[in-house]
Structure 1
Amino acid sequence: MTNWPPLDLHAHIDTTVTPQDLLNLRAVVFAASRTLAESRLALHRQQHDLLTIWGVGVHPGVKVALDGYAPEEFNQLLDQTAYVSEVGLDARAPSRRAKQHEVLASLLSQLQKKPRLISIHSYGATREIVDHLERTPVTGAILHWWLGDRATTSRALELGAYFSLNIATLRQSDAIDLIPIDRLLLETDHPDGNRRGARPQQPGNVADVEASLAKARGISTTEVRIQAWRNLADLVTSTGTNDLLPSRVAAILGAIT
């Protein structure tokens, strides 16, 4: 296996976990936040966590996240991170759909001006997510735990979207084969996406995703991991976010050829 560490583009981590515990994961992990309040706590850690990228998020399925969304604060928090997560739409909360659309439209409008890596939630609303991306094109869109049909997946690809896959995605989706390998990233979505994944079930353990993708694409697990890092490097370059990453992560990306 390559010396490059595992790469997890979407996991949920308690903001009180110690820096040493995160280093012990031996992985580069993008940590999603659900609310602006959680994002504030997470981003205070940025200078201490060498391999973890903390995000700013407004989870569409969390009422307090939607109610607590303030465009000005979101815009200010963007200046502290390369990563926006978790944002999007969630059909499990029909009474809040109008608010979800309002918040997502506001977020995307700001992200047109400040490009970031954007991990987008789309449960039960994949077509509507692509509609938003067509109306408000952004650089850096990463469709997380994607279960869109083949036609919607093709639309997303035409818009330049990337896709982060966990082991549950691979078992549930019938459109993953459409996605070129240079648009694929790996995730755990810990603790939900890897409940039936390989042990230890922790952020950064994407070994089962790497193995499944390697088998499906007829390549080695080493090639899967290297390609994921190359794809991340392309995203960081296109969004201009290298200076917002922890220095160790930036150094890894700088070594990619």
Structure 2
Amino acid sequence: MSLSELPPLDAHAHIAADVSAAQVLGLGNSVVFAMTRSVREALYTLRPGAASGDRLVWGMGSHPGVEQTVRQFDGDAFAEAVSRFALIGEVGLDRRGDDEAQVAMFRSILRAVAGRPVLLSVHSTGRCGAVLDEVERAPHPGVILHWFNGTAAEVSRATDLGCYFSVNAAMSPASLERIPFDRMLTETDFPASRTKTGASRPGDVARIEAVLAERHGADVRTQAWVNLAEVCGRAGATGRMPMEVRSVLESVTPGG
């Protein structure tokens, strides 16, 4: 696959678990990492007859900002289901809700994915330092910090911990400036902040690509895929990706 044929990469978006096949086709040629908010929701995407696609990657999540998810979290059920997914997300910590319960849930998730070939899309709203504390406590090579608005020191710390970052056009210029270009992936977080991200649907990363191209003067899409190939390689997650996504990853990997 030539670099000019690389599809748009949306490394963090939300799609209803009951999405129809026609709606999946509406995503066009984009590759979308679709987050869920609970194990139950994630498992529903695997039901017989569920809509899927070679460019749609479902994540298994336990969203820290959803009170019911935190309250009903079952660590054993989560651990049992990890092998069915290449992507874990959305998980992490949030400034709202029960701090102690969220930390317990996130620690349980990090234990469940230890040594497993998965990527993790990690939420850190209002809890950037606390999230990094947990990642440092239980490192994983596949951590992707979603919409990370940490300080320069926190970004440096996250980079030293091996983290990658998925970024969108709603982020401030200061936040984007702090993040190394060779650790960036593009995202929409659709449908959140649609007016700020400029995304009309999951996979519509045109605005963030334009913002990053203006800042870095480089081929943003190619760099995003190179970065994704690197984090997938580190985590061992490449082989779990859908065949078409795997093909793109291999096309941007030296010797792939």
Q: Which residue of the other structure, out of 30, 34, 37, is the alignment partner of 2:37? A: 34
How much has 1:149 moved relative to structure 2? 0.8
Contact 1:148–1:173 (CA<8 Å) still a contact in 2?
no
Runs of 4+ in 1 over 6 A off after TM superposition: none
Contact 1:149–1:174 (CA<8 Å) still a contact in 2?
no
Work out the CA distance in 2 between the residues paired with 1:218 and 1:254. 25
Contact 2:93–2:131 (CA<8 Å) still a contact in 1?
yes
Work out the CA distance in 1 between the residues paired with 2:132 and 2:195. 28
Q: Deviations over 1:15-41 (max 9, x none)?
A: 121223213212000000001111111
SS in 2 for 1:204: coil
- Root-mean-square deviation (Å): 1.7
Q: Which residue of the other structure, out of 21, 24, 27, is the alignment partner of 2:26? A: 24
SS in 2 for 1:29: strand
One-letter identity of the residue aligned with 1:214: A
Unaligned 5+ runs, structure 2: none
* Corresponding position of 2:81: 77
* Corresponding position of 1:160: 162
Work out the CA distance in 2 between the residues paired with 1:82 and 1:48. 14
Work out the CA distance in 2 between the residues paired with 1:43 and 1:149. 38
One-letter identity of the residue aligned with 2:205: V
Task: Sort the Cα spacing of 1:197 and 1:179 in 2 relative to 1 into closer, same or farther, 3 A.
Answer: closer
Work out the CA distance in 2 between the residues paired with 1:81 and 1:252. 19
SS in 2 for 1:102: helix
**Percent identity between the aligned chains?**
38
* Corresponding position of 2:57: 53
Contact 2:17–2:42 (CA<8 Å) still a contact in 1?
no
Work out the CA distance in 2 between the residues paired with 1:105 and 1:5. 34
Contact 1:35–1:64 (CA<8 Å) still a contact in 2?
no
* Corresponding position of 2:227: 231
How much has 1:164 moved relative to structure 2? 0.3
How much has 1:46 moved relative to structure 2? 7.7
Work out the CA distance in 1 between the residues paired with 2:83 and 2:139. 20
Work out the CA distance in 1 between the residues paired with 2:157 and 2:50. 35
Contact 1:150–1:174 (CA<8 Å) still a contact in 2?
no
Work out the CA distance in 2 between the residues paired with 1:243 and 1:31. 18
One-letter identity of the residue aligned with 2:82: L
Is 1:250 aligned with 2:254?
no
* Corresponding position of 1:194: 194
Task: Sort the Cα spacing of 1:64 and 1:164 in 2 relative to 1 into closer, same or farther, 3 A.
Answer: same
How much has 1:236 moved relative to structure 2? 1.4
Task: Sort the Cα spacing of 1:8 and 1:195 in 2 relative to 1 into closer, same or farther, 3 A.
Answer: same
Contact 2:12–2:146 (CA<8 Å) still a contact in 1?
yes
Is 1:67 aligned with 2:66?
no
Work out the CA distance in 2 between the residues paired with 1:57 and 1:173. 29
Q: Deviations over 1:143-186 (max 9, x none)?
A: 101110111111111101000001112xx262432322110001
Structure 1 residues 148-227: aligned runs within 5 Å: 148-169=150-171, 172=172, 174-198=174-198, 201-219=200-218, 223-227=219-223
Work out the CA distance in 1 between the residues paired with 2:163 and 2:229. 15
